[in-house]
């Protein structure tokens, strides 16, 4: 009863049958299920009369005297029926029939909308003589009945009578014989008449016995309800049973009993159950409906999609986000928790869903559902129903994709996986799901739900990896197009962009992705070109027009010439190939990288020369010429940082700056440039000249640290830098604890040893420096407590303690378990981390100007001319030589062919995955269980055939003269009788 949500209408005064068959109904004391009682033979009814309609009823239990019985306290509701009689058993039968008829006319459904008529079924356990009339009235009212064989009483008698006879065979004489001795003689004729009426409608009666198998209770109920409709071949007669199978998630019964060959289901009849299956998270039933003719393209309209979003559970994160988004910007900003909500999702919520997707996916994808709200009006103030009611009836152009997004937002694993299998653009869709789920996991406050979202995100990333691997094994050129094509289904985003947004590190670690990144890194040049040739060509550009640098298109022409005869037509070589060589060399990311590395090393060399050899006095004696060159060089660095922060991308300026500041290395660049400006300002003043020199020396350290990011592109150094970065985070925590202890100890010792000293420099020196030196057992008291504190330069030059800080800390933290654990943990995955970060590095150098600072100023001037002057003169801009490697726009026909090829590879991958799943132990157990169920079903059919054969033998035996009636025939007699036929 708990599993099906059934409510029991009982007599309410007896407990024996319920205690004997508690396995069918569950524990009566469980208040999660409801039992409704009704009777006329109640003992001491006067105790209930003064409290009509009260709850709870104050009724002390006491033993009753026949025919009166006490109430059963396990019932939730009890109707005291007064039909004018007293002490008459069964007086409430007519009231119960009217009550059941009224209940059967009500409707319930999924999502708050009534679509399922409440099924009513009479279950007879035991019972006295009045139950024959009760079952007869139920069958005449077209109410299915379930008889529990072996429970004794009326149920057992009816079950045996129906099993021993065939449809259409009279039951009166056999009933008189079987009921004699079990019920009063004066009631036998009436009971036999009731049995005769029941036999006429025996298709409404189902007999169940424990010997037939240990089936679940809802299975028995649903089979009894389906049996009542098996006389009809119209699908509409089974619609309520199908909805009930959806409500109980019984796909086995729906596939075997409802979707039979003799029942033709129209797609229009399946739309209601399909909606209930989607709202109730029944992916197996959704698959069953699709396999039996339901067209999702004709089913999913914008209105139905809104119903699905409005049917989201109130406790789900999606419902909470929709409700908060519907509040609008005028409401105060709520705290970052999604628990205290009492409102349901608003009507017209697709524009709100579009805003949520925009926040989850970022600016990579174009907005979804852009046509569902008037332009210029905020979506959170516009309802879809208010301004375009006819739009609700329009069909969704991408139904499976819309259902996939809906299932992912609700974190429904099986439903989302099935929709992904049916939707096109599989790799991009799986990466979008991974991105959405990882973002939702940060918003989810429930730890278990957040963990499930992260697990599902990893599941979809693995699906993307599996399909991509199958595509890569089939065709490398096509898979490269798949990675860089603009997906019209996912807002013109590429697979690489979606993988970067989803932080899909394992996806980036695939060989196909790395092969494409390497190809993009080299541009049109051959990837086997040695580095020394690139450096030589970089400093001597005329070598570009020689054979020192090899390009791929030149190799293709050469291979074609070798494979074909000299008279064969040579592939078309574009004109101005000299200019093409020039553009392709300087436009390759590897050239920009080498140029930046070389020029940055020269910049550090110039910086160190100025600090050590040519740092002139303040004006008017300085600065020197080399120092001015350094200042100009830094100015070009500032211009490049301004370009990266303000002029890269199509987002608003504030958003571009915000994205720029999120990068740690950009923050380091800004810090280095600000320190340089501060040092320059102090250096030009005679009063702060030494401070300016000190700041510039410290700034040189910051500029030198920038080399770490530059060399992160290296295959050997990159993973090691990731390991060091992870360990530094662990060391920072221990440094915090160490600092807390040093401050506590330093303040305490200073207060005890020097209570009257008010000299602030001495106090700071003893509070912070003495505890540190005490760690190593070195306390120079004469220097710490000297008469005059030393300046910063003297501390740096003379104190060996400062030079030993890093060395000693490295020794200490190398012995700590946390950094060692981090090293061992990250070392195995460092290659994966590096491969995922490699895309960002290649993208950065892909978008950088060709020339490196300080010559980058010419590239900046070229960009200004290209962006503004050509726009004014309406001269079209020439695309970048490497733009085809990062973004690819395909025609509709080409895109359709590529997606069809991807779908074929997806099916191959799913078939292989299903084959692997079949080999698992759990899958073997499931198949074994199915075979056992089929064997039990066949055994039940064999028993039914044997029962019918025995009935025929009895009829033939009774019809022969000389045989005493009522005795079973012997096997030999049966054989002799049947042989002539």
In this structure, the number of other CB atoms found within 10 A of the CB of residue 968 comes to: 11
Between residues 18 and 680, which one has the greater pLDDT?
680
- Final residue of a domain: which of 243, 270, 291? 291
Distance, in Å, from the CA atom of 247 to the CA atom of 233, rounded to the nearest integer, reads 23
Say yes or no: 116 and 209 in one domain.
yes
- Final residue of a domain: which of 694, 713, 732? 713
What DSSP state is assigned to residue 9?
Answer: E
Q: Are 460 and 384 in contact (CB under 8 A)?
A: no
- Let me know if residue 259 belongs to a domain: yes
- Final residue of a domain: which of 105, 127, 154? 105
- Let me know if residue 787 belongs to a domain: yes
Give the per-residue pLDDT at 230.
63
Say yes or no: 196 and 113 in one domain.
yes
- Let me know if residue 26 belongs to a domain: no
Q: Are 483 and 504 in contact (CB under 8 A)?
A: no
Half-sphere exposure of 681 (CA within 13 A, CB side): 5
Say yes or no: 88 and 44 in one domain.
yes
Question: At residue 109, what are phi and psi to the nearest 5 degrees?
Answer: -170, 180
* pLDDT-based confidence at residue 433 (cuts at 50, 70, 90): very high
Between residues 676 and 67, which one has the greater pLDDT?
676
Q: What integer is the mean pLDDT of 539-566?
A: 68
Q: Please report, for residues 764, 955, 979, the alpha-carbon distance to residue 972 in angstroms, rounded to integers and kept in the order given.
A: 116, 16, 11
Q: Are 337 and 445 in contact (CB under 8 A)?
A: yes
Show the 3-state SS of 553-612.
Answer: HHHHHHHHHHHCCCCCCCCCCCCCHHHHHHHHHHHCHHHHHHHHHHHHHHHHHHHHHHHH
pLDDT in tens, 916-933: 887 776 667 777 877 787
Q: Are 429 and 419 in contact (CB under 8 A)?
A: no
* pLDDT-based confidence at residue 905 (cuts at 50, 70, 90): very high
Long-range pairs, 722-726, Cβ under 8 A, ≥24: 722/826, 722/830, 722/833, 722/834, 722/837, 723/822, 723/823, 723/826, 723/827, 723/830, 726/822, 726/823, 726/826
Give the per-residue pLDDT at 5.
60
Burial of 640 (0-12, 13-18, 19+ CB in 10 A): buried
Q: Is 572's pLDDT higher than 70?
A: no
pLDDT in tens, 283-302: 999 999 999 989 999 999 99
Taking the CA atoms of residue 883, residue 886, residue 891 and residue 894 in that order, the dihedral angle to the nearest 10 degrees is 130
Give the per-residue pLDDT at 327.
64
Q: What is the DSSP string of 478-526?
A: HHHHHHHB-BTTTTTB-HHHHHHHTT-HHHHTSHHHHHHHHHHHHTTB-
Nearest to 17 by CA among 74, 64, 96: 74
Q: Is 112's pLDDT higher than 80?
A: no
- Let me know if residue 945 belongs to a domain: yes
Give the per-residue pLDDT at 475.
93
Distance, in Å, from the CA atom of 506 to the CA atom of 19, rounded to the nearest integer, reads 58
pLDDT in tens, 757-774: 888 888 888 888 888 777
Q: Are 156 and 149 in contact (CB under 8 A)?
A: yes
Q: Please report, for residues 80, 98, 491, the alpha-carbon distance to residue 12 in angstroms, rounded to integers and kept in the order given.
A: 10, 17, 63
Say yes or no: 7 and 75 in one domain.
yes
pLDDT in tens, 519-535: 888 888 888 888 888 88
Long-range pairs, 546-550, Cβ under 8 A, ≥24: 549/525, 549/581, 549/585, 550/525, 550/526
Give the per-residue pLDDT at 62.
60
Give the per-residue pLDDT at 215.
61
Say yes or no: 59 and 114 in one domain.
no
* pLDDT-based confidence at residue 88 (cuts at 50, 70, 90): low
* pLDDT-based confidence at residue 356 (cuts at 50, 70, 90): very high
Say yes or no: 40 and 64 in one domain.
yes
Give the per-residue pLDDT at 370.
66
pLDDT in tens, 630-676: 999 999 999 999 998 888 877 788 888 988 898 888 999 999 999 99
Percent of the chain with pLDDT over 70: 71
- 955 is in which domain, residue-wise? 933-978
* pLDDT-based confidence at residue 834 (cuts at 50, 70, 90): confident
In the chain, the number of structural domains is 6
- Let me know if residue 687 belongs to a domain: yes
Q: Which of 313-322, 602-611, 803-812 has the highest mean pLDDT?
A: 602-611
Q: What integer is the mean pLDDT of 542-548?
A: 86
Which is it for the CA torsion 444, 449, 453, 454, positive or negative?
positive
Residue 708's contacts (CB-CB under 8 Å, 6 or more residues apart) are 721
Say yes or no: 700 and 796 in one domain.
no
Give the per-residue pLDDT at 423.
95
Give the per-residue pLDDT at 429.
96
Q: Is 801's pLDDT higher than 60?
A: no
Q: Is 248's pLDDT higher than 90?
A: no
Give the per-residue pLDDT at 328.
44
Between residues 954 and 64, which one has the greater pLDDT?
954
Say yes or no: 623 and 729 in one domain.
no
- Let me know if residue 786 belongs to a domain: yes
Nearest to 288 by CA among 312, 254, 320, 326: 254
pLDDT in tens, 675-690: 999 999 999 999 999 9
Between residues 534 and 976, which one has the greater pLDDT?
534
Q: Is 65's pLDDT higher than 70?
A: no
Say yes or no: 837 and 725 in one domain.
yes
Between residues 669 and 797, which one has the greater pLDDT?
669
Evaluate the omega torsion of the peptide bond into residue 620 and state whether it is cis, within 30 degrees of 0: yes
Q: Are 506 and 464 in contact (CB under 8 A)?
A: no
- Let me know if residue 447 belongs to a domain: no
Give the per-residue pLDDT at 357.
92
Strand partners, 551: 525
Q: Are 513 and 384 in contact (CB under 8 A)?
A: no
* pLDDT-based confidence at residue 274 (cuts at 50, 70, 90): very high
Distance, in Å, from the CA atom of 466 to the CA atom of 445, rounded to the nearest integer, reads 31
Say yes or no: 727 and 842 in one domain.
yes
Say yes or no: 177 and 131 in one domain.
yes
Q: Is 576's pLDDT higher than 60?
A: no
Say yes or no: 118 and 90 in one domain.
no
Distance, in Å, from the CA atom of 848 to the CA atom of 863, rounded to the nearest integer, reads 11
Q: Are 631 and 679 in contact (CB under 8 A)?
A: no
Burial of 108 (0-12, 13-18, 19+ CB in 10 A): middle
* pLDDT-based confidence at residue 613 (cuts at 50, 70, 90): very high
Q: Which of 22-31, 176-185, 866-875 has the highest mean pLDDT?
A: 176-185
Return the beta strands (E) in 91-182 as ranges: 107-108, 116-117, 122-124, 145-148
- Let me know if residue 908 belongs to a domain: no
Between residues 876 and 961, which one has the greater pLDDT?
961
* pLDDT-based confidence at residue 793 (cuts at 50, 70, 90): very low
Give the per-residue pLDDT at 138.
85
Q: Which of 204-213, 235-244, 602-611, 826-835 has the highest mean pLDDT?
A: 602-611
Q: Please report, for residues 362, 430, 657, 766, the alpha-carbon distance to residue 355 in angstroms, rounded to integers and kept in the order given.
A: 10, 20, 22, 57
């Amino acid at each position: 009863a708990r599993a099906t949500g059934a409510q029991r209408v009982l007599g309410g005064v007896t407990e024996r049958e319920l205690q004997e068959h508690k396995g069918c109904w569950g524990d009566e004391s469980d208040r999660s299920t409801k039992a409704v009682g009704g009777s006329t033979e109640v003992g001491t009814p006067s105790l209930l009369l003064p409290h009509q309609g009260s709850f709870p009823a104050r009724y002390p239990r006491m033993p009753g005297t026949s025919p009166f019985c006490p109430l059963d306290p396990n019932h939730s509701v009890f109707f005291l029926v007064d039909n004018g009689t007293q002490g008459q058993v069964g007086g409430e039968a007519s009231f119960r029939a009217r009550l059941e008829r009224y209940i059967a006319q009500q409707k319930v459904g999924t999502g708050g909308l009534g679509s399922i008529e409440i099924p009513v079924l009479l279950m007879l356990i035991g019972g006295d003589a009045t139950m024959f009339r009760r079952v007869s009235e139920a069958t005449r009212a077209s109410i299915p009945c379930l008889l529990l064989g072996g429970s004794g009483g009326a149920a057992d008698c009816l079950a045996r009578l129906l099993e021993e006879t065939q449809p259409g065979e009279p039951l009166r004489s056999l009933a008189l014989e079987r009921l004699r001795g079990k019920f009063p003689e004066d009631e036998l004729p009436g009971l036999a008449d009731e049995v005769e009426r029941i036999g006429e409608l025996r298709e409404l009666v189902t007999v169940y016995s424990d010997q037939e198998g240990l089936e679940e209770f809802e299975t028995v109920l649903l089979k009894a309800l389906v049996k009542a409709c098996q006389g009809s071949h119209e699908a509409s007669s089974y619609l309520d049973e199908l909805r009930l199978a959806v409500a109980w998630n019984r796909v086995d019964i729906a596939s075997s009993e409802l979707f039979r060959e003799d029942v033709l289901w129209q797609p229009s009849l399946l739309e209601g159950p399909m909606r209930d299956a989607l709202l109730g998270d029944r992916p197996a039933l959704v698959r069953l409906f699709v396999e039996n003719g339901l067209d999702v393209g004709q089913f999913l309209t914008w209105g139905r999609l809104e119903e699905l979003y409005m049917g989201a559970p109130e406790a789900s994160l999606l419902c909470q986000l929709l409700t908060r988004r519907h509040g609008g910007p005028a409401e105060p900003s709520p705290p970052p928790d999604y628990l205290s909500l009492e409102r349901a999702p608003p009507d017209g919520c697709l524009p709100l869903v579009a805003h949520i997707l925009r926040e989850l996916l970022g600016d990579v994808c174009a907005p979804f559902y852009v046509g569902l709200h008037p332009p210029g009006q905020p979506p959170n103030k516009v309802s879809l129903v208010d301004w375009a009611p006819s739009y609700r009836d329009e069909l969704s152009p991408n139904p499976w994709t819309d259902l996939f997004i809906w299932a992912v937002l609700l974190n429904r694993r099986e439903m989302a996986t099935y929709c992904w299998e049916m939707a096109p653009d599989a790799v991009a869709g799986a990466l979008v799901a991974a991105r959405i789920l990882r973002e939702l996991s940060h918003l989810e406050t429930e730890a278990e739900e957040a963990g499930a979202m992260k697990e599902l995100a990893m599941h979809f990333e693995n699906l993307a990896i599996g399909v991509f691997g199958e595509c890569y094994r089939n065709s490398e050129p096509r898979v490269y197009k798949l990675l860089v094509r603009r997906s019209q289904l996912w807002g013109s985003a590429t697979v690489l962009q979606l993988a970067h947004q989803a932080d899909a590190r394992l996806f980036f670690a695939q060989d196909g992705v790395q092969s494409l990144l390497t190809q993009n890194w080299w541009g049109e040049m051959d990837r086997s070109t040695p580095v020394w040739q690139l450096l030589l060509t970089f400093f001597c550009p005329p070598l570009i027009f020689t054979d020192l640098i090899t390009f791929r298109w030149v190799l293709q022409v050469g291979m074609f010439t070798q494979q074909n005869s000299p008279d064969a037509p040579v592939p078309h070589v574009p004109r101005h190939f000299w200019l093409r060589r020039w553009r392709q060399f300087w436009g390759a990311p590897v050239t920009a990288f080498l140029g930046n590395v070389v020029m940055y090393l020269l910049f550090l060399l110039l910086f160190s020369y100025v600090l050590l050899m040519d740092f002139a006095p303040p004006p008017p004696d300085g600065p020197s010429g080399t120092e001015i060159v350094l200042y100009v060089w830094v100015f070009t660095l500032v211009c490049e940082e301004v370009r990266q922060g303000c002029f890269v991308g199509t987002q608003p300026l504030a958003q571009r700056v915000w994205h720029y500041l999120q990068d740690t290395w950009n923050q380091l660049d800004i810090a280095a440039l600000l320190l340089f400006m501060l040092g320059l300002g102090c250096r030009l003043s005679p009063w702060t000249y030494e401070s300016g020199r000190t700041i510039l020396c410290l700034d040189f350290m910051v500029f030198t640290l920038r080399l770490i990011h530059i060399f992160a592109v290296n295959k050997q150094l990159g993973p090691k830098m990731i390991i060091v970065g992870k360990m530094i985070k662990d060391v920072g925590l221990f440094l915090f604890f160490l600092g807390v202890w040093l401050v506590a100890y330093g303040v305490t010792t200073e207060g005890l040893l020097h209570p009257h000293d008010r000299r602030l420099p001495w106090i700071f020196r003893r509070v912070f420096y003495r505890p540190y030196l005490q760690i190593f057992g070195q306390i120079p008291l004469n220097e710490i407590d000297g008469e005059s504190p030393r300046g910063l330069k003297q501390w740096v030059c003379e104190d060996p303690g400062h030079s030993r800080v890093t060395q000693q800390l490295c020794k200490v933290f190398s012995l700590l378990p946390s950094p060692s654990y981090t090293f061992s943990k990250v070392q195995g995955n460092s290659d994966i981390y590096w491969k995922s970060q490699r895309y960002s590095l290649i993208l950065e150098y892909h978008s950088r100007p060709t020339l490196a600072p300080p010559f980058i100023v010419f590239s900046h001037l070229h960009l200004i001319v290209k962006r503004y002057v050509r726009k004014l003169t309406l001269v079209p801009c020439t695309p970048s030589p490497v733009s085809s490697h990062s973004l690819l726009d395909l025609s509709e026909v080409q895109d359709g062919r590529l997606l069809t090829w991807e779908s074929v590879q997806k099916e191959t991958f799913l078939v292989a995955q299903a084959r692997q799943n079949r080999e698992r132990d759990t899958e073997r157990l499931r198949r074994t269980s199915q075979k056992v169920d089929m064997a039990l079903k066949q055994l039940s059919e064999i028993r039914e055939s044997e029962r019918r054969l025995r009935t025929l033998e009895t009829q033939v035996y009774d019809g022969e003269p000389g045989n005493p009636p009522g005795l079973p025939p012997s096997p030999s007699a049966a054989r002799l009788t049947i042989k002539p036929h």
